[in-house]
Copies of this chain bind each other. A is one copy, B any other.
Amino acid sequence: MAIARGDNWERELSEFNDWMVQHHLTPTWAYYAALVSKEPNVAYGPYLWKADMLGSVIKRAGELVDLARGGERRSFEVVNPDLRHIHGTTHTIGAALQLVQPGEVAPPHRHLANAIRFIVKGKGSFTAVQGERLYMEERDLILTPSWMWHEHGNETKDPIVWVDALDYPLMNHLQLSFFEPGGNQAEIGSRPVGFTANRIGYARPAWASYPEDIPLVTYKWSQVWAGMTALRGDAGSPYDGILFEYVNPMKGGGPVLPTIGCYAQLLRPGEHTKAHRHTASAIHYVLEGAGHSIIGGKRFDWGPGDFFMIPPWAWHEHVNPATQDAVFFVLSDKPVMDSLRVWREEPYANGGHQRVTETFTPMKWQ
């Protein structure tokens, strides 16, 4: 078993390594750093999109995009510059703004991707999920969970704008893109308005279980906000202030979807949260207020209607210097990290606050 390692050893090993790669084998000894790293080399940075640009795009899309002439949706994703190849806002979630003109209807369909819808402007439109129409007002949330039939329509005289978010970046990576158009009304079923609410309250039919395990209801902002304001005197989270998580009451709590967590976040006047980092990524849509967040030492100034996102394992803290509330609607892939048991979180040392080394300059509409 004596091994002859002469002067040629390094060259022989190098040739062997090359040969292996050509034969679809990776020599761990040569590629160890590519397989594992001490901490994540996160493939993308933070980013922010300003409301004025987004609003101009919505307006222009309203003029130019004619669903009758092609184009499934009058929606557009906010895409991280580093994730352009997967059209992702983060590596797991794509968030979009969608404009639905009066009278427009989307036919029923379903996809394996999970999705949520959060109303930004307008009221009275509906999304039907599994055949049940859910009517939505501003800041209401509805879910269209994986493989559940859904369709929508705007029966009002005013345009509707909502945030759509899907986990297609994750699903596509997992080779899981399934889509089915649903012409067959019988297959979709038809449930009366209130079907779900009448079955999942504090008292429930004893003779039949509700057929879904996620509640197909409108999560009313009025109810969420009532809880948040009632608890505004509480210490809250040191990292997030008054952070409420939308939950699944069919399971006694927990995230609304297996892959997407939804939150409403209140930064009280003058609040400056402590910095931390964690293995989840997050997308913030600003509902109210003006302030800034420091992400990886870089300052991002935000105001109403802006989108900004935070990559995994990036230090981040939020500042509301104003005398009025700052309120976000937030999306996160924390449920994935929890399911796969890889949630990790770390507080920032040094008093909890980063030094700002740079300020983000947003792109503008010209």
Residues of A in contact with B (beta carbons under 8 Å apart): 3-5, 9, 12-13, 16, 20-21, 23-32, 34-43, 47, 49, 53, 57, 60-67, 70-81, 84, 87, 91-92, 94, 96, 98, 111-113, 146, 166, 168, 171-180, 194, 197-199, 201-208, 215, 217, 219-220, 223-224, 226-228, 230-231, 234-237, 240, 242-253, 258-259, 263-264, 279, 281, 311-313, 336-337, 339-342, 344, 363, 365
Q: CA separation between A155 and B244, bound complex, in Å?
A: 35
B171 in contact with A205 (CB, 8 Å): no
18 A-B residue pairs with CB within 8 Å: A3-B63, A5-B66, A23-B363, A24-B79, A25-B77, A26-B79, A28-B75, A29-B65, A35-B168, A35-B172, A41-B177, A91-B174, A198-B230, A204-B245, A205-B234, A207-B236, A259-B340, A339-B340
Known: A28-B76, A73-B28. A178 touches B40 (CB 8 A): yes
B252 in contact with A249 (CB, 8 Å): yes
Most chain B CB within a 10 A radius of its CB, from A245, A312, A342 = A342
A9 proximity list for chain B (CB < 8 A): 64
Say how far A218's CB is from chain B's closest CB, in angstroms: 9
A243 proximity list for chain B (CB < 8 A): 205-207
| Number of identical monomers bound together in the oligomeric complex | 4
Q: CA separation between A71 and B13, bound complex, in Å?
A: 11
Inter-chain pairs besides A24-B81, A26-B87, A174-B312, 8 sampled, C-beta below 8 Å = A3-B63, A24-B79, A28-B77, A29-B74, A37-B178, A201-B224, A203-B219, A203-B264
Q: Which 7 residue pairs spanning A and B have beta carbons closest together?
A: A29-B71, A207-B237, A252-B252, A339-B339, A26-B77, A203-B244, A198-B230
A201 in contact with B176 (CB, 8 Å): no
B72 in contact with A29 (CB, 8 Å): yes
Known: A35-B87, A78-B24, A198-B231. A244 touches B204 (CB 8 A): yes
Nearest B residue to A30 via CB reads B71
A64 proximity list for chain B (CB < 8 A): 3, 5, 9, 12-13, 16
Q: CA separation between A96 and B6, bound complex, in Å?
A: 28
Say how far A5's CB is from chain B's closest CB, in angstroms: 7
Known: A5-B66, A224-B203. A177 touches B37 (CB 8 A): yes
B112 in contact with A344 (CB, 8 Å): yes
Q: CA separation between A85 and B81, bound complex, in Å?
A: 21
Q: CA separation between A312 and B84, bound complex, in Å?
A: 24
Nearest B residue to A166 via CB reads B35
Q: CA separation between A63 and B9, bound complex, in Å?
A: 10
Q: CA separation between A78 and B336, bound complex, in Å?
A: 27
A73 in contact with B32 (CB, 8 Å): yes
Known: A16-B60, A206-B245. A342 touches B174 (CB 8 A): yes
A72 in contact with B264 (CB, 8 Å): no
Q: CA separation between A24 and B32, bound complex, in Å?
A: 34
A279 in contact with B226 (CB, 8 Å): no
A38 in contact with B179 (CB, 8 Å): yes
A91 in contact with B175 (CB, 8 Å): yes
Q: CA separation between A16 and B62, bound complex, in Å?
A: 12
A207 proximity list for chain B (CB < 8 A): 235-237, 240, 243
Say how far A190's CB is from chain B's closest CB, in angstroms: 14
B47 in contact with A24 (CB, 8 Å): yes
A279 in contact with B201 (CB, 8 Å): no
